[in-house]
Amino acid sequence: MIRVVLPAHLRGLARVRGEVELDITGPATQRSVVDAIEARYPMLQGTIRDHVTQKRRPFLRFFACAEDLSHESPDAPLPDAVVSGVEPLLIIGAIAGG
Protein backbone atom coordinates (compact mmCIF):
# COMPACT_ATOMS: atom_id res chain seq x y z
CA MET A 1 0.00 0.00 0.00
CA ILE A 2 1.40 3.37 -1.03
CA ARG A 3 0.48 6.57 0.73
CA VAL A 4 0.21 9.77 -1.28
CA VAL A 5 -0.24 13.30 -0.02
CA LEU A 6 -1.97 15.47 -2.60
CA PRO A 7 -1.92 19.30 -2.65
CA ALA A 8 -4.92 20.87 -0.93
CA HIS A 9 -6.53 22.04 -4.18
CA LEU A 10 -6.39 18.54 -5.64
CA ARG A 11 -7.77 17.02 -2.43
CA GLY A 12 -10.65 19.43 -2.76
CA LEU A 13 -11.18 18.55 -6.38
CA ALA A 14 -11.11 14.81 -5.64
CA ARG A 15 -13.17 15.33 -2.48
CA VAL A 16 -10.76 13.45 -0.25
CA ARG A 17 -9.36 14.28 3.15
CA GLY A 18 -5.89 13.40 4.33
CA GLU A 19 -3.68 10.92 2.56
CA VAL A 20 -4.68 8.75 -0.35
CA GLU A 21 -3.82 5.07 -0.05
CA LEU A 22 -3.21 3.10 -3.21
CA ASP A 23 -2.50 -0.51 -4.03
CA ILE A 24 -0.16 -0.66 -6.99
CA THR A 25 0.15 -3.75 -9.11
CA GLY A 26 3.59 -4.16 -10.63
CA PRO A 27 6.55 -1.88 -10.00
CA ALA A 28 5.83 1.18 -7.89
CA THR A 29 7.02 4.19 -9.83
CA GLN A 30 5.93 7.80 -10.22
CA ARG A 31 4.11 6.77 -13.39
CA SER A 32 2.28 3.82 -11.86
CA VAL A 33 1.28 5.87 -8.83
CA VAL A 34 -0.12 8.69 -10.96
CA ASP A 35 -1.84 6.09 -13.16
CA ALA A 36 -3.54 4.74 -10.04
CA ILE A 37 -4.48 8.21 -8.80
CA GLU A 38 -6.03 9.11 -12.15
CA ALA A 39 -7.88 5.80 -12.34
CA ARG A 40 -9.46 6.31 -8.93
CA TYR A 41 -9.99 10.05 -9.31
CA PRO A 42 -10.61 10.78 -13.00
CA MET A 43 -11.17 14.46 -12.26
CA LEU A 44 -7.44 14.70 -11.52
CA GLN A 45 -6.48 13.72 -15.05
CA GLY A 46 -4.42 16.51 -16.51
CA THR A 47 -3.83 18.24 -13.18
CA ILE A 48 -0.65 16.40 -12.14
CA ARG A 49 0.75 15.61 -15.57
CA ASP A 50 -0.07 16.71 -19.08
CA HIS A 51 -2.77 14.70 -20.85
CA VAL A 52 -0.68 14.16 -23.96
CA THR A 53 3.00 14.39 -23.08
CA GLN A 54 2.50 12.72 -19.66
CA LYS A 55 5.11 15.13 -18.29
CA ARG A 56 4.78 16.37 -14.73
CA ARG A 57 3.22 19.80 -14.65
CA PRO A 58 6.04 22.33 -14.19
CA PHE A 59 4.92 23.73 -10.82
CA LEU A 60 4.36 20.34 -9.20
CA ARG A 61 7.12 18.37 -7.49
CA PHE A 62 7.42 14.84 -6.16
CA PHE A 63 9.14 14.41 -2.79
CA ALA A 64 9.70 11.37 -0.57
CA CYS A 65 12.04 10.49 2.28
CA ALA A 66 13.34 14.08 2.31
CA GLU A 67 14.47 13.75 -1.31
CA ASP A 68 13.26 15.60 -4.40
CA LEU A 69 12.35 12.89 -6.90
CA SER A 70 10.95 15.29 -9.46
CA HIS A 71 13.72 14.93 -11.98
CA GLU A 72 14.05 11.18 -11.75
CA SER A 73 12.65 9.03 -14.51
CA PRO A 74 8.90 8.49 -14.08
CA ASP A 75 9.69 4.80 -14.45
CA ALA A 76 12.36 4.71 -11.73
CA PRO A 77 11.44 2.60 -8.68
CA LEU A 78 10.18 4.60 -5.72
CA PRO A 79 12.16 4.34 -2.45
CA ASP A 80 11.54 1.19 -0.43
CA ALA A 81 10.09 3.23 2.43
CA VAL A 82 7.41 4.57 0.07
CA VAL A 83 6.70 1.17 -1.43
CA SER A 84 6.25 -0.33 2.03
CA GLY A 85 4.03 2.52 3.17
CA VAL A 86 6.39 3.74 5.87
CA GLU A 87 6.83 7.10 4.13
CA PRO A 88 4.31 8.93 1.91
CA LEU A 89 4.94 10.20 -1.58
CA LEU A 90 4.38 13.94 -1.41
CA ILE A 91 2.99 15.75 -4.45
CA ILE A 92 3.63 19.40 -3.77
CA GLY A 93 2.64 22.61 -5.47
CA ALA A 94 5.77 24.71 -5.90
CA ILE A 95 5.88 27.92 -3.92
CA ALA A 96 5.63 30.42 -6.73
CA GLY A 97 3.78 33.58 -7.54
CA GLY A 98 2.27 35.77 -4.88
Partner 1 sequence: MSGVRVLVGTRKGAFILTSDGKRERWDISGPHFAGWEMYHVKGSPADPKRLYASQCSGWFGQLIQRSNDGGKTWEPVGNKFVYDGVPGTHQWYDGTPHPWEFKRVWHLEPSLNDPDTVYAGVEDAALFRTTDGGQNWEELSGLRKHGSGPHWQPGAGGMCLHTIILDPSNPNRIFIAISAAGAFRSDDAGKTWKPINQGLRSEHIPDPTAEVGHCVHHVAMHGSRPKVLFMQKHWDVMRSDDGGDSWKEVSGNLPTDFGFVIDVHAHEPETIYVVPIKSDSEHFVPDGKLRVYRSRSGGNEWEALTKGLPQSNCYVNVLRDAMAVDSLDKCGVYFGTTGGQVYASADAGDNWSPIVRDLPGVLSVEVQTLP
The angle subtended at Cα 21 by Cα 16 and Cα 26, nearest 5°, is: 135
Name the segment binding partner 1 (CB under 8 A); options: 29-37, 48-56, 64-72, 75-83.
Answer: 48-56
Residue 66 engages partner 1 in binding (rule: CB under 8 A): no
Using CB under 8 A, count the residues that bind partner 1: 19
Q: Which is nearer to partner 1, 24 or 60 (CB)?
A: 60
**Quick one: 16 exposed, middle or buried, by C-beta within 10 A (0-12, 13-18, 19+)?**
middle
Candidates 61, 73, 16, 21; CA nearest to 43 is 16
Binding site for partner 1 (CB under 8 A): 7, 9-10, 13, 43, 45-48, 50-52, 57, 59-60, 93-94, 96-97
